[in-house]
Chain A
Amino acid sequence: MSPVATVTTQPGQRKAPKTGRFNNSVVKKTVMAVSGIIMILYLIAHMIGNLKAFQGAEKFNSYSGWIRTIGEPALPAQTTLWIIRLVLLAAVVLHFWAAISLWRQARRARPVPYATKKRVQQSFASRTVRWGGLILALFIIWHILDLTLGAVNPEGHDSTPYERLVASFSNIPVTAFYVVSMLLLGLHLRHGIFAATQTLGQTNKKRERAVNGLAYVIATVLTVGFLLVPLSVAFGLID
């Protein structure tokens, strides 16, 4: 008898397609892209504000004060600040929701791992985007406790923003954590900017180089811009 066995299988069960708007993976990606773009716009403004540290304590503190008075006297104090904060909070929450939801979908999609799996073309930035994002989320929490609320800052919350800045980055481990986080931010943006453009359906073969170039430029400018101030404090250029 021939040992050749024939295997007959039942065709797979037809699964009902997902019809909800927000369990559509492309919609989730769009939420991720749009919330990411909002955060990038904020980061650009944040970086410009940070660089005022090079103009001295008075300019830096008065810039910080100005953010709290934008729109006065037409608007009550801190209105604009709170609008920015709420928009950012919404962006972070939505970004996080989309990321976790897509992460879980990806885990379901490969229940049995490969014994051997090679990378053919993926970038380091694309590979680290999820764990990097989680570390960035922890960084943001610490960063607010440190420099906004002063809760974990040696100067406490009854201090000027400039005093908190100098106190925080005079501490080498704190500066090191900040530097690592900003490098992760750079990687996150390098992949994220390309991915957002692709998700919003704006890339094609002709634009690919330009989009990747833009991702590199924005990621580098923001990373370097955010590193200048803490490194200057750590090396005693700002005190």
Chain B
Amino acid sequence: MTSTETRTMSLTLRIWRQRDATKKGKMVTYHVTDVSPDMSFLEMLDVLNEKLILDGDDPVAFDHDCREGICGSCGLMINGIAHGPEQATVCQLHMRSFSDGDVLDIEPWRSGGFPVVKDLAVDRSAFDRIISAGGFISVPTGTAPDAHAVPVPKKDSDAAFDAATCIGCGACVAACPNGSAMLFTAAKVAHLGLLPQGQPERDARVLKMVGQQDAEDFGGCSNIGECSAVCPKGISMETISRLNHDLLGALRAGAVPTS
């Protein structure tokens, strides 16, 4: 065995514990030992939870699903940075990014739009409501159309794909000093607005989605850029400029905000 395989870490974790949305929460200190640098951050929390269960304590609740960086379920504030020190989801963050003896503050996403369900798990259904306000296109179902029936310029398809990589994890909201969900909303608006299939509903979409983001207790964007810096998919601030452009264009074209 090489030395790297045998070296393990001991960590002090200060974790937000909150029984449910109605109770007050607080930071509670835990110690974990024998943490392998090759563990993912979530596996490290699994180790902690197994220990808590054996001790008869309530395990720490946190969201997770695919654990391969594509579902957007996991998301924690680790030492004040959304998803921790690497620009990736928490499941793709490995313990080798930390050092033996580190003290880690682990908190849920803090947002008026994301009420805490329990401990580190938050209710992100506000994102679903932003999507259902306009993040879709209307197409007749049935026989699949020919793949290249509608030509899309390469430049547009690339930009649309870049925006479409958003997994809706909520890190943008968590990191934003204004608690704004504008990067998420903009990624969806840009993704559909760049493609020919998204054109018929383009004006209505941007007005409805921004109206919903404002109603869900998210803040307004002040172009600080923290969102893009922590986005595990690297969605750029350019998408927000696109959203602004679309919204002003929609108002100029005479579209009215409706529900």
Point out residues on A near B: beta carbons under 8 Å.
2-5, 7, 9, 11-12, 14-21, 23-30, 102, 105-106, 108-123, 126-127, 129, 191, 194-195, 198-205, 208
A108 touching B112, Cβ below 8 Å? yes
Q: Is the CB of A201 within 8 A of B242?
A: yes
B53 contacts the other chain (CB 8 A): yes
- Report the Cα distance A112→B244, complex, angstroms: 29
Contact check: which of B20, B58, B81, B225 meets A122 at CB < 8 Å? B225
Most chain-B Cβ atoms within 10 A of its Cβ — which of A3, A17, A105, A108? Answer: A17
Check B203 for interface membership: any CB of A closer than 8 A. Answer: no
Q: Which residues of B contact A21 (CB under 8 A)?
A: 251, 256-257
Which residues of the other chain, B, contact A202 by a CB distance below 8 angstroms?
241, 245
Task: Tell me the nearest residue of chain B to A211, going by C-beta.
Answer: B241
Secondary structure type dominating chain B contacts: mixed
Q: Is the CB of B14 within 8 A of A115?
A: yes
Total count of chain B residues near the partner, CB < 8 A: 76
B107 close to A116 (CB less than 8 A) = yes
- Which of B61, B223, B242, B249 is the one whose CB lies under 8 Å from A199? B223
Which of A29, A109, A113 has the largest number of chain B CB atoms within 10 A? A109
Pick the contact of A195 from B110, B111, B223 — CB < 8 Å? B223
Q: Is B113 an interface residue (CB 8 A)?
A: yes
Residues A109 and B241 in contact, CB atoms below 8 Å apart: no
Q: B206's closest neighbor in chain A, by CB? A: A26
Q: Which residues of B contact A4 (CB under 8 A)?
A: 53, 59
Instruction: Across the interface, name the chain A residue whose C-beta is closest to B211.
Output: A17
Which residue of the partner chain, among B77, B107, B240, B257, contacts A24 with CB atoms under 8 Å?
Answer: B257
Give the contacting residue for A105; candidates B57, B129, B214, B237; CB below 8 A. Answer: B214
CB distance from B259 to the nearest CB of A (A): 5
Cα–Cα, bound, A8→B69 (Å):
25
